[in-house]
Amino acid sequence: MDRQLALYPGTFDPFTYGHRDVLERALRLFDQVEVTVGVNADKQTLFTTEERIALIRECTSDLDGVRVASHEGLIVDRAEATGAVALVRGLRQVSDFDYEFRMAFANRKLAPDIETVFLMTSEEYALISSSMVRDAHRWEGDVSKFVPPPVVEALHAKRAATAGAR
């Protein structure tokens, strides 16, 4: 059975255990999953695109079938260019669904042959979000239960660099 390629798009700033959980679930359905790091010049991120790509690669190096790339523009354009058959979107809570539902319909209008697949994260990760991790980190909270060790190290390095710059 040929299960082909799916894209898992997002900002991933930073990559969390919830992201990894959804990625692992997607790998059960697809031969390959590309974690597609969104580039948005108007959005302020903690980590650069290159840093996010490197962190995701490090956090997923033990998983077969994962590739990581960045993309600026419509995700359906990336899907069509790579031959992807689906977009993977993670759902944590019911509140995520409203936004994701609207995006899936817009993407279907733009690229009718690309399916959107919604995967629920495990219950233990349902309350984890990148913004929550950034907030906890800002106030020097322990984020090690929310993000893989390479991300914890990168967050500490960011804090040290910021403190040194003051």
Q: Active-site residues: which are they?
A: 19, 43, 92, 130
**Cβ-contact 127, 17 below 8 angstroms:** no
Who contacts 122 (Cβ-Cβ below 8 Å, separation ≥6)? 18, 21
Who contacts 159 (Cβ-Cβ below 8 Å, separation ≥6)? 137, 140
**Cβ-contact 51, 81 below 8 angstroms:** no
Residue 2, Cβ density class (10 Å: 0-12 exposed, 13-18 middle, ≥19 buried):
exposed
Whole-angstrom Cα distance, residue 23 to residue 112? 23
Rounded alpha-carbon distances, angstroms, from residue 157 to 39, 73, 150: 22, 30, 10
Residue 129, Cβ density class (10 Å: 0-12 exposed, 13-18 middle, ≥19 buried):
middle
Whole-angstrom Cα distance, residue 127 to residue 36? 22
